[in-house]
Amino acid sequence: MYYIVETDKSFDQATTDLELAVQNNHFGVLHIHDLGSTLRKKGMVFDEQCKIFEVCNPVHATEVLATDMRLNMALPCRISVWTEKGKTHIGLIKPKEMLSALSQDEKLVAIATEVEAQTIRMVDEAK
């Protein structure tokens, strides 16, 4: 269900490279949540780094929503960069598995399969 890679890059370099990989694959970055910073600002002790990228391809998103508007709750795709025990990781929940749990529509499965290949490519390029 997950696709996670470990990289030798620093957290900052991995986040920069992921943003470039998203753009190179014709997706857009809608927002980047800096979860680590947000938790620390709320007074929580959180020593790791974690940024969550909300990414979207408008063509795919429109196709999904035209087929089943309820799936807006599963959009956009998220790719995370985080540190854990001194290592930097990049990962995502596989779109095909997630969408397959929400719909059995063959058209949606095909879209999710394509999006999954593209998002995995982004992670691999950023690695």
Q: Is the pLDDT of residue 7 over 90?
A: yes
Pick from 61, 39, 57: nearest CA to 48: 39
Write the pLDDT tens digit of every residue in 21-55.
999 999 999 999 999 999 999 999 999 999 999 99
Taking only the tens place, the pLDDT of each residue in 68-125 is: 999 999 999 999 999 999 999 999 999 999 888 898 899 999 999 999 999 999 999 9
Q: What is the pLDDT of residue 104?
A: 86
On whether the pTM is more than 0.85, the answer is yes
For the chain, list the domains and their CATH numbers. Answer: 2-126 (3.30.310.70)
- DSSP codes joined into one string, 54-81: EEE-HHHHHHHHHH-GGGGGG-SEEEEE
Q: Are 5 and 124 in contact (CB under 8 A)?
A: yes
User: How far apart, in whole angstroms, are the C-alpha atoms of residue 9 and residue 26?
Assistant: 23
